[in-house]
Amino acid sequence: MPDHLLPLDSPTAVSDPVGVAAPPALEVRGVTKRFGDVLANEDVDFRIERGRVHALLGENGAGKSTLVNIIFGLYQADTGEVRRNGEVMNLNGPRDAIAQQIGMVHQHFQLVPVLSVAENVVLGDEPTRHGVVDLDEAAAVVRKLSERFGLDIDPESIVEDLPIGIQQRVEILRALYREVDILILDEPTAVLTPQETGHLLEVLRGLADTGVAVVFITHKLREVMAVADEITVMRRGRVVGHAVPADTDESDLASMMVGRPVELRLKRTPASPGDKMLTIVDLVVNDDRQTQALNGINLDVRAGEVVGVAGVEGNGQRELVEAVTGLRGVISGSIILDGEEIAGRSPRQISTMGVAHIPEDREKFGLIGAHTVADNMVLNRYHHRPYSRHGIRRPAAVDDEATRLVEEFDVRPPTIAAMVATLSGGNKQKVVAAREFSHGSKVMVAAQPTRGIDIGNIEFIHRRLIEYRDAGMAILLVSAELDEVLGVSDRVAVIYGGRIVSCEPAEGIDRDRVGRLMLSGADG
């Protein structure tokens, strides 16, 4: 039997002498790390026990990624130490960490799409026969590993042909092949369907049951409560609390992360939909490769409602948003705004006609980083009165509007003259939201409106979506976060393979059924 298939025996797994406590699998003591003037970690203590799933929580910028990158050897601490089985480690890179049986699965997969599962798993540590890579042996080892840990992966499949959830398992297999007994996963469910997430959590639980110490970094509190044995919360570079699921709940964890009470599930009145504001009829659109991405989309959004679009990324969501906002040409079909055709019009024309847009990529489509906060607040209106007259910019009017919006939307720049590139992700998103919500649009297209921002700012954006819905705006919400779609929407449309395969009221919707539709386009 290959070494990789031996039971997880190690000196640390042997029963300890009576009265002698075993050291933790890994322990961080007093770690501090700076990047210039930024204090990323400050005097952090953290320990990981064998056979446990340990959730690491915190807002963006809390220091989670810095901490685990130190553990994995990508960064070196300025002060403090990392111990493995009670012994201080000197990690000068990931190779050193892997040699210490520490593995890490990154949020963005490190796989080679055109290679097989087996080739990806053994890459860099290939079995050989007579000096030649033995792919048959690689496939056999990977198949046995897959069976042992319940991962159910065909080693001969090509990675690019696999669903995202299966690719995630391949990343885990890569770590297990290298015999890790500490496994760190950074936001592993970010792009998974509910079913894929459920399978992954079962895998993590199974790994822990074999003795692996699992570190699970996520912002999804539902998952933490479902799988974690222990929870550590970080805020502003420091550890601010520990908990176990039995003694806490999602609200308490959110409050600990943010430092104040947070409303995770909005209390809102039922929608009172009015006239159709946005009507999409038989829409056909190509992607960047000129392959059909939308195949006859039909959808409508009424005044005073939020219609959420759920789907696995890559099923036409981006193309739908870009077609409605004028960023992508239309092959055929209609996009009607309050009775007027807008398909084929420019983004400026569509904006002027009454379509606001919070883009998926705020850096590329929503902001100009080298311009001030004030300028970005009127980015799509600078050519209109009162911000300009006869083609001449009126700085006082721009500053007045920016000052008003900064206060109303709780944006926190040093001044409105600060370059928007210097703001945090949450404040950048608030600048975009403030601008787009503030000029009386009939329709809002919100694409991934909370991606990359923390719980406190997520709460803020969700509140604004509902407030403007209640004021009569029609809102089309496109999000990869199913909890967001279900929590904010009045109707939920599922997109699969460039088609809307379901559209129904959000109240009482079957979450698992939505997941099945997202995964296969079929209910069953």
260: amino acid identity, one letter: R
Q: How far apart are CA 425 and CA 363, in angstroms?
A: 10
Answer whether residue 173 is part of any domain.
Answer: yes
Task: For residue 19, name the pLDDT band (cuts at 50, 70, 90).
Answer: low
What is the C-alpha separation between 486 and 198, in angstroms, rounded?
17
Q: Within this chain, do residues 51 and 39 fall inside the same structural domain, yes or no?
A: yes
- The order of strands in the sheet holding 102-105 is 102-105, 182-186, 213-217, 53-57, 230-235, 238-243
Would you say residue 29 lies in a domain?
yes
Residues 432 and 454 in one domain: no
Q: Does one domain contain both 233 and 88? A: yes
- Predicted confidence at residue 524, as pLDDT, reads 65
If you average pLDDT over residues 211-225, what whole number do you get? 90
For residue 9, the model assigns a pLDDT of: 35
Look up the CATH number of the domain holding residue 474: 3.40.50.300
pLDDT tens per residue, range 479-494? 988 889 999 999 999 9
Q: Measure Cα distances from 505 to 100, 268, 428 in Å.
A: 51, 15, 32
Query: What is the rounded CA–CA span in Å between residue 369 and residue 250?
Result: 35
Q: Among 37, 33, 30, which Cα is nearest to 78's?
A: 33
Cβ atoms of 231 and 55 closer than 8 Å: yes
**Residue 205 in this model has a pLDDT that exceeds 50:** yes
Instruction: Indicate whether 12 belongs to any domain.
Output: no
**Would you place residue 20 in the very low, low, confident or very high pLDDT band (cuts 50, 70, 90)?**
low
Are 98 and 168 in a shared domain?
yes
One domain for residues 432 and 447: no
How far are the Cα atoms of 78, 189, 234, 475 from residue 199, in angstroms, in the given order? 38, 10, 27, 33
pLDDT at 52 over 60: yes
Q: Is residue 326 part of a domain?
A: yes
pLDDT value at 14 more than 50:
no
Residues 53-73 have pLDDT tens digits of 999 998 777 889 899 999 999
Q: At 130, is the pLDDT very low, low, confident or very high (cuts 50, 70, 90)?
A: confident
Please report whether residue 362 resides in a domain: no
Domain boundary residue, one of 439, 470, 489: 439
Using an 8 Å Cβ cutoff, are 65 and 186 in contact?
A: yes
Residue 93 pLDDT > 90:
yes
Interval 153-182: pLDDT, tens: 899 999 988 877 788 889 889 888 988 999
Give yes or no: residues 187 and 81 share one domain.
yes
Instruction: Give the chain's length.
Output: 524
Look at residues 417, 439, 461 and tell me which one is the last residue of a structural domain: 439
Count CA within 13 A, CB hemisphere, residue 116.
14
Measured between alpha carbons, how far is 136 from 146 in angstroms, rounded to an integer? 15
Choose between 210 and 387: higher pLDDT: 210
pLDDT in tens, 426-477: 788 889 999 999 888 999 999 989 876 778 888 888 999 999 999 999 999 9
The pLDDT value recorded for residue 198 is: 86
pLDDT at 381 over 80: no
**Domain interval for residue 402:** 369-439
Arithmetic mean of pLDDT, 370-381: 89
Mean pLDDT over each residue of the chain, to the nearest integer: 88
Task: Evaluate if residue 10 carries a pLDDT over 60.
Answer: no
Residue 8 has pLDDT above 70, yes or no: no
Pair 211, 97 in one domain: yes
Structure confidence at residue 21 (pLDDT): 66
Q: How confident is the model at residue 379 (pLDDT cuts 50, 70, 90)?
A: confident
SS3 content of the chain, % helix, strand, coil (to 5): 35, 25, 40
Residue 202 has which token pair? 């079962």
pLDDT on residue 212: 94
d(CA 120, CA 166): 13
Q: Is the pLDDT confidence value at 401 over 50? A: yes
Q: Are residues 462 and 523 in the same domain?
A: yes
**Judgement on whether residues 175 and 303 belong to the same structural domain of the protein:** no
Mean pLDDT in residue range 77-103 = 93
Q: What is the reported pLDDT for 45?
A: 96
- Record the tokens describing residue 332, joined without a space: 């055929």
* pLDDT for res 15: 40
What letter does residue 496 receive in the DSSP assignment?
E
Q: Is the pLDDT of residue 399 over 80?
A: yes
One domain for residues 340 and 407 = no
Q: Tell me the pLDDT tens digit for each residue of 295-337.
A: 999 999 999 999 999 998 889 999 999 999 999 999 999 999 9
Residues 254 and 131 in one domain: yes
Which tens digit of pLDDT belongs to each residue from 222-276?
A: 899 999 999 999 998 999 999 999 999 999 999 999 888 888 777 888 999 999 9
Cβ pair 283, 328 in contact under 8 A: no
Quote the pLDDT of residue 61. 73
For tokens 């055109």, what's the residue?
114
Cα four-point dihedral sign 97, 103, 106, 111: positive
Report d(CA 328, CA 286) in Å as an integer: 9
pLDDT at 7: 33
Q: Where are the beta strands (DSSP E) in 49-202?
A: 53-57, 79-84, 87-88, 102-105, 128-129, 132-133, 182-186
* Residues 118 and 245 occupy one common structural domain: yes
pLDDT for the residue 271: 93
73 within domain boundaries: yes
In a domain, 361, yes or no: no
Q: How far apart are CA 148 and CA 7, in angstroms?
A: 10
What pLDDT was estimated at residue 97?
A: 94
pLDDT of 101: 93
User: How far is C-alpha 126 from the chain's CA centre?
Assistant: 32
| Total count of domains within the chain | 3
Last residue of a domain, one of 439, 465, 490: 439
- Is the pLDDT confidence value at 385 over 90? no
Q: Is residue 13 part of a domain?
A: no
Q: Kindly calculate the radius of gyration of the chain based on its CA atoms and give it in whole angstroms.
A: 25
